[in-house]
Amino acid sequence: MEQSKALFDFNLVLIGFMGTGKTTISNTLQHIFAMDVIEMDQMIEEREGMSISEIFETYGEQYFRDAETNLLIEMQERKNVVISCGGGTPLREVNVAEMKKNGKVILLTAEPETIFERVKDSHDRPVIEKNKNLSFITELMEERRPKYEAAADIIIHTDHKNEDQICEEIIEKVLASEEARH
């Protein structure tokens, strides 16, 4: 049986604040379209043999941010892969430049209330562990928003939508943006 043609000859790079659905959506895309998924945080943790919190404590944030950049450079070799970025990845301009070399950057976004609901019971998010409240989340989202939006080729609002609806919207917008390019 012939291998079906890859959906895209570039990568889909998911960015956005924690709790906007990057992991859920990359898993759904993987399931529907048989695309490989690179969960950046998870891959860095596996390679370093420690959690992100431990990497921050042991080597500092700069070390972790450099690991993200190197992983994005490595991804230039791949295509038709969903790359799910950590919340801080697009804050570095060099990372955005690497994402755009062979990827469409998709910003997933949601209202602060939605995000708070999604993350309030989680303890693996060092950035908000000590400040798990709506005002802190709102403030941090506002602070990051200009960089997120500047990096994005496509913006998808995830509030009140299920995984299939979000994935459908992503594919539609990516294909439309490709047609517009040609």
Please say whether the beta carbons of 47 and 40 come within 8 A.
Answer: no
Q: Tell me what pLDDT residue 119 has.
A: 80
Q: Tell me what pLDDT residue 128 has.
A: 59
Dump pLDDT digits (tens) for 106-143: 999 999 999 988 887 765 665 655 666 888 889 999 99
pLDDT band at 5 (very low <50, low <70, confident <90, very high): low
pLDDT band at 6 (very low <50, low <70, confident <90, very high): confident
Dump pLDDT digits (tens) for 24-81: 999 999 988 889 999 999 999 999 999 988 998 999 989 999 999 999 999 999 999 9
Dump pLDDT digits (tens) for 14-29: 999 988 999 999 999 9
Q: Is 93 left (phi over 0), alpha (psi -120 to 50) or beta?
A: alpha
**Is the pLDDT score of 1 beyond 60?**
no
Residue 78, SS3?
Answer: coil
Q: Tell me what pLDDT residue 55 has.
A: 94
19: burial class by Cβ within 10 Å (0-12, 13-18, 19+)? buried
